[in-house]
Amino acid sequence: MPFSSPLALLGLLSVVPLIILYMIRPNPRDISFPSTAFIREGEAKPSAALSRLVTDPLLWTQLLVIVFLVLAAAGPYTEARGTQGEHLVVVIDLSASMEASFDEAEEIFLRYSSGQDRISIVLAETIPIVALREGNGVQARSIFSALAPRAVSADLSAGMGMGRSLLGAEGGQILVISDFISWTGDDPEVTRGLIETEGTGVVFVDSGGEGENVGIVGGWILDSGGSVNCSCLIRNYGRTRTVPIRIEGPGGISTNARTIDSGGESYLTFDASPGITIVTLEVEDALSSDNRAYISIPEVRPRRVLFLGEDGPPLAALLSISTVAVSRSGSYVGFDLVVTENATVDSQINRYVYDGGKVVYVGSNASASPEYLPVRIGGVVNESAPLWTRNPVFAEDLHLDEVEVYSYLQASPRRGSVTIAEANAVPVISYWRLGGGTVVYLGLSGDSSDFSQRPEYPIFWYQMTNWLTEVPDVSESNRRTGEVMRLGEMTVVEAPGERISTDALLLDRGGVYRFQGRTIAANMYDPVESNLQGGRTLNLGSFTSGRTSEKLVRKDLSGWMVLAAAALIILELAILRRRGER
């Protein structure tokens, strides 16, 4: 007899201590015997313990209970050729809009899965997930009853493709349950046509799901260095209504209300403090997943910056950053960043960089070219030139190409350096890693361009300082649901409503995720998913005629083993009752 889990048979070793227990257990009783019994010798007598083993029905009953339970755990089965029912793959839409019709979706599933003996379930989210592979009806109903919509859009076509791969060469049928309000990826109608050309029937069943909804469909965070300003876009997909709003965070709790017309929208703006801030629309509507927005602002300790130079735009920009403490003198050791203007050769700063220090060199002197710089300076070019961004690094969205350059230092890049911006193929902003540290070269002084007069200049310094001193990026702490984050190793994640272990984290719930010392807020922000008023009508389709296949069918015998063990336990209780034992 084959077993699906043969290692479980090691449990049969548990009969050994049971037998030993019976051999050493005393069995006293009152008997009458003649006084000459003590002087009788030379007569061979069987061992009392052995006799008890052979004749005690309770021992054999308990041994058989152990044997049958161990066999049940090992999963005995038989195989024989026979017919097997057709395979049904159910693709269930778990997008946020399904919250309005998920009860109807479960009724559809129960109706179509009734009588099916082979069912697979594919969850259609941002990426398809196999929840059940060729299970029976009981398993399928158990899994489906535990499902709930997630704060994502669904790729129905990817789910159907996964379903087709589960059917394999044997084929079968695919049932797609969705409200068909929105989806990502390919058009489901087109995908169905491709699958049906292979002889597989695909049926679409609409779960409905229309309703009035108010939701937070957009969110923006502006970190200007002095404060973090947040904006949320609230849109009304129903009748005109007044929406109570609650903002709760480290800075306290505030409430207000907005009256939003039917089909209208309203912007909510507020400042957020380090920590988690939650915006809640206190309404009852069709969807709950878009009634909350979570904002995560990382805690930032003040960065110590040593500035060696004259008063001017670089110093003014540093002083405007609230998270930076600027000193004008002191030893390099202990500072997170050193900013120097036109420094000459300095062995102490070389050692500081090699030991992991961060340096910004603001150059305007053509005669100074320290060896720790990522460029070699060799003169001045007194002509205007356009500035071209090659590698933005920390300077994205700053429009450096709009800066007017009047003159610039003639510099050539060193091997291993990265040019951020250049003028006439000459590096003007660049950096490199030197030893354990980083050095940034900034060749745009106050007189050589209009950069210091532009509004982007203090933002440039803020972003460069954060990048060099490894301040957590606010955008990295606030994500959209549907993203997959690669964690690099198996990690325990505190997710909304559950604790999971994974190395690839799918953000499919709105809320806060904590892992590897990080705190991430995830929000849906999807105006299409929040709008329940625009469903698309698709053809229902039909299944192909039912087919069965002849193959090796496995019959599980575990249930019979459990029944036998249960019967023996009842017999054991009867024996104990007859003996008057408890």
* Model pLDDT, residue 554: 64
- Where residue 312 falls (left for φ over 0; alpha for ψ -120 to 50; beta otherwise) is left
State how far the Cα of 112 lies from the Cα of 100, in Å rounded to an integer: 21
- The ranges assigned to domains in the chain are 6-29+45-78+560-579, 86-210+534-547, 303-468
Judged against a pLDDT cut of 60, whether residue 582 lies above it is answered with no
pLDDT band for position 536 (cuts 50, 70, 90): low
Q: Would you state the pLDDT for residue 63?
A: 81
- Write out the two tokens for 400: 């450096």
pLDDT digits (tens, 9 = 90+) for 451-504: 999 999 999 999 999 899 988 788 889 999 999 999 988 999 999 999 999 999
DSSP 3: B
Token pair recorded at residue 172: 């079968």
The CA distance from 102 to 61, in Å, is: 50
What is the pLDDT at residue 416? Answer: 93
Widest pairwise Cα distance in the chain = 132
Angle at 356 between CA 355 and CA 357, to 5 degrees: 105
For residue 198, what is the DSSP state?
Answer: T
pLDDT tier, 346 (very low <50, low <70, confident <90, very high otherwise): low
Weakest mean pLDDT among 48-62, 152-166, 528-542, 555-569: 48-62
Domains 86-210+534-547 and 303-468 are alike in CATH topology: yes
Q: Residue 317 and residue 444: Cα distance in Å, rounded?
A: 14
Share of the chain above pLDDT 90, in %: 58
Mean pLDDT check: name the lowest of 82-96, 127-141, 273-287: 82-96
Q: Which long-range contacts (CB under 8 A, 24 or more apart) does 446-451 make?
A: 446/312, 446/313, 447/364, 447/406, 447/407, 448/364, 448/405, 448/406, 448/407, 448/408, 449/387, 449/403, 449/404, 449/405, 449/406, 449/408, 450/403, 450/404, 451/403
Average pLDDT of the residues of the chain = 87
Match domain 303-468 to its CATH number in 3.40.50.1950, 3.30.950.10, 3.40.50.880, 3.40.50.720: 3.40.50.880
pLDDT at 39 over 90: no
Residue type at 153 in one-letter notation: S
Q: Which of 364, 441, 440 is nearest to 407 (CA)?
A: 364
CA separation for the pair 316, 446 (Å, rounded)? 12
Pick from 115-124, 145-154, 323-332, 555-564: least confident = 555-564
pLDDT digits (tens, 9 = 90+) for 101-149: 999 999 999 999 888 889 999 999 999 999 999 999 999 999 999 999 9
Q: How far apart are CA 436 and CA 414, in angstroms?
A: 17
Show the CA angle centred on residue 327, arms to residues 323 and 332, nearest 5°: 105
Cβ burial, residue 144 (10 Å; 0-12/13-18/19+)? buried
What is the percent of the chain with per-residue pLDDT over 70, rounded to a whole number? 87
pLDDT at residue 558, rounded to an integer: 82
Which pLDDT does position 64 carry in this prediction?
87
Q: What is the mean pLDDT of residues 567-582?
A: 77
Least confident of 106-120, 175-189, 423-437, 551-565: 551-565
Given a contact cutoff of 8 angstroms between Cβ atoms, the answer to whether 363 and 441 are in contact is: yes
How far is the first Cα of the chain from the last one, in angstroms, to the nearest whole number?
37
The residue type of 467 is W
The values of phi and psi at residue 211, to 5°, are 170, 170
C-beta of residue 128 within 8 angstroms of C-beta of residue 193: no
pTM above 0.85, yes or no: no
Confirm if 390 and 351 have CB atoms less than 8 A apart: no
**CATH class of the domain comprising 86-210+534-547:** alpha beta
* pLDDT over 50 at 82, yes or no: no
Tokens of 119: 């069912």
Q: What is the pLDDT of residues 330-344, one digit of tens each?
A: 889 889 999 998 765
